[in-house]
Amino acid sequence: MAEVPLNPFSSEAARGHLNPPPGVRTEGVEAGLDARKACIEERSVVGDYVSTAEVRLTTQTGPDRRPDATVGGGFRGHLNRLVQGLERGMRFFTESPPPEVDRTPREQVERFDLVTVSRFQGSTRRHRTPVLLVPALMIKPYLFDLRPGHSLAESLLERGFDVFVVDFGVPDEADAHLRISDYVFSFLPRALEAVTRASGQPAATLLGYCTGGLFALLCAASRQSQVANLVLLACPMDYEKMGVISFITRRYQRQLHALLDRLGYVPGFVPSLAVDVADPLGGLTRYSDLFLSVWDHEYRKGRQALNHWLHDLVPGPRDAWKEFLDTFVVGNALVEGRVELAGRTLHLEEVRCPLLALAGKRDPIATEASTREIVDLVGSPDRTFQVVPGGHVGIVAGSSAPQTTWRLVEDWLEPRS
């Protein structure tokens, strides 16, 4: 007869039919419970943040748990633990200090206009080809360095890469004239030159996220000799397949232009609003998942750091967004394989360096359908497209990203660096 799996919430589990996790403290637990307690793995999806957390059915000591001899076993014990976890979780969000973000040490190697180029400090650099992280417009680049122990930049350093990041700064009304061509033909090439100069290498890997991936792709088409590898994360190619965002932009293009002219810039809250519009159910489930997982300390730290980043976005230049909407979203120029910018024509078939493109399985903006076409547009014989877990932000900074996105990128880059 097949063995029936033990329900971790059953009275049998509570009486100790499962082995305890290492380091579990069992003092103060009522008679009838021994050191063998149940532990299950529960997957919590919070918008773009995906948390894999252990649900411990034992009382533990530590920063997040206090011994309590009264919780008991069975259903009442589980209910008491849930209430205690909710109490600690609410105390964490209301009383804890701001999260630790953007903590990996780095030094500035170049500054011009609004742009800063920095080099992360690592102890061992085993790979010759440096990596330049390119953020999207309107975001602060510490998405790549979200928090200690959960940082793409930190992970790349540990694998022996020489890691740089470009920060496009905080534009205001005086920068309304900036266009996509300024980022593609000026800002990013100058940042790339700073990286090759500081590293002493002739070329670098460009790793771009969202519109940062667009800048990296077009830069690679115009500066082939300086781009050794190209990594694109959540970067759409066919904007007709972006769903509701594409529909709204095409339907209300004239009104969006008028609004941009009146404001002079794109407010910083727009990117997070776009995610909620593209995935309204995701916005609702974030609150329910928060309630269900608020007891978990690691989940709370990750959620707090991501919320801090999402509320720390920056304005976008008016003309850059007009050009982006007209040329790429409405004009859908990339699927034609060529782009006209500032009187210059860029051909994507000129991108001949190795290419890795990743799409988030649950991304409502850079959908799999909108990103997949990249492999048919570039001229590189070494090109890979893959879908990974996560949403539009989770693909870079979700809790599953270290085991999926980061590891895949690092494994792919090592033999090419």
pLDDT (tens digit, 9 = 90+) per residue, 124-173? 899 999 999 999 998 999 999 999 989 999 999 999 999 999 999 999 88
Q: CA distances (Å), 226 to each of 84, 199, 377, 386, in order? A: 56, 13, 20, 25
Asked if residue 215 and residue 161 are part of one domain, the reply reads yes
On whether residue 60 sits in a domain, the answer given is: yes
Among the ranges given (21-35, 90-104, 205-219), the one the predictor scored with the smallest mean pLDDT: 21-35
Half-sphere exposure of 347 (CA within 13 A, CB side): 5
> CA distances (Å), 228 to each of 148, 192, 223, 358, in order?
29, 11, 10, 18
* Residue 39: pLDDT over 60: no
Domain match, 34 and 116 both: no
Query: Could you tell me if 204 and 77 lie in one domain?
Result: no
Q: Which domain holds residue 147?
A: 106-268+313-416
What average pLDDT does range 112-127 have in this prediction?
Answer: 92
* Domain co-membership, 225 together with 350: yes
Residue 307 belongs to a domain: no
Read off the pLDDT of residues 229-266 as tens digits, 9 standing for 90 and up: 999 999 999 999 987 777 888 888 889 889 888 888 88
Last residue of a domain, one of 70, 95, 120: 95
Q: Is residue 241 part of a domain?
A: yes
Q: Alpha-carbon dihedral of residues 132, 403, 408, 221, nearest 10 degrees?
A: -40
What is the tens place of the pLDDT at every residue in 314-357?
889 999 999 999 999 999 999 999 999 999 999 999 999 999 99
Q: Are residues 31 and 158 in the same domain?
A: no
CATH of the domain at 156: 3.40.50.1820
Q: How far apart are CA 19 and CA 307, in angstroms?
A: 36
Q: Say whether both 42 and 119 belong to one domain.
A: no
Whether residue 142 is found in the same domain as residue 87: no
Residues 160 and 256 in one domain: yes
pLDDT above 50 for 38: no
**At residue 130, what is the residue type?**
P
Whether 306 maps to a domain, the answer reads no
Q: Is residue 284, in this structure, part of any structural domain at all?
A: no
In a domain, 134, yes or no: yes
Contact between 147 and 304 under an 8 Å Cβ cutoff? The reply is: no
Query: Mean of the per-residue pLDDT values for the chain?
Result: 78
For residues 129 and 148, state if they share a domain: yes
The tokens of 100 are what?
A: 């630790």
Within this chain, do residues 81 and 128 fall inside the same structural domain, yes or no?
no
- Across the range 390-413, mean pLDDT stands at 94
pLDDT band with cut points at 50, 70 and 90 for residue 57: very low
> What is the predicted pLDDT for the residue at 313?
86
Say how many domains are in the chain: 2
Residue 74 pLDDT more than 90?
no
Q: What is the mean pLDDT of residues 358-383?
A: 94
User: pTM here?
Assistant: 0.74
- Residue 282 in domain: no
* Cβ burial, residue 273 (10 Å; 0-12/13-18/19+): exposed
Q: Greater confidence, 14 or 99?
A: 99
Q: Which residue has the higher pLDDT, 159 or 86?
A: 159
**What pLDDT sits at residue 383?**
97
Dist. CA 173–CA 82, nearest whole Å: 49
Residue 289 belongs to some domain of the structure: no
* 191 shares its domain with 264: yes
Asked if pLDDT for residue 37 goes beyond 80, the answer is no
